[in-house]
Amino acid sequence: MDVSAVSAATLSDVQTQTALLMQRKAQDIAASNAAQLIAALPEPAKAPDPNATVGRSIDVFV
């Protein structure tokens, strides 16, 4: 067996594993950033009361 072929295969495996670990780390960071952004959103505005009298009718003069 050729030593350089084994060495190249091992180097390729190490590079692949490193690339996968870097991708997972990047995804973890992106997920963390997304969670922080969602947590920083303000509370939504309350829905208007359906029984309120203001704005229920419009006076139109023709």
Please write the tens of the pLDDT for every residue from 41-54: 999 888 777 776 66
In this predicted structure, the answer to whether residue 38 has a pLDDT above a threshold of 90 is: yes
Query: Domain boundaries in the chain?
Result: 1-41
Q: How many residues does the structure list for the chain?
A: 62
The reported pTM is 0.57
Residue type, 46: K
In this predicted structure, the answer to whether residue 5 has a pLDDT above a threshold of 70 is: no
